[in-house]
Amino acid sequence: METNKDKEQKRKRYDEGFKRDCVALFERSGKSIRAFSEEMGINHWCLRDWMRLYRPPAPRLSSEEAQAELVRLRRENESLRAQRDVLKKTLGILVEAPGNVTRG
């Protein structure tokens, strides 16, 4: 039977530099926490804890800055939706089979 002492001996210990590097690599990877942690050979719960400790805090915006950012993002969202709609229409036109083409 395994005792607590045996479990503690099996537990891996990581130095602070490794933890910080993992968080930085994860931020740039674009992968899910599970996928990244499996790739690195660490427990995903450890990575979550490390992110809380070593991820730089998000900058706080004033109320006016937040309102301006919201307006900017809404305009950008509207523009992106318009671009998406144009692309959908273009794709629809390209996929449509020509109706009056004679086969020869």
Tell me the whole-structure pTM to 2 decimals: 0.49
Per the structure block, which two tokens stand in for 8? Answer: 């503690």
Residues contacting residue 13 through CB under 8 Å, at least 6 positions apart? none
Structural domain spans, the chain: 10-54, 59-95
Query: Per residue in 3-38, pLDDT tens?
Result: 666 555 577 889 999 999 999 999 999 999 999 999
- Both structure tokens of 94: 């390209």
pLDDT digits (tens, 9 = 90+) for 32-70: 999 999 999 999 999 999 999 998 777 888 999 999 999
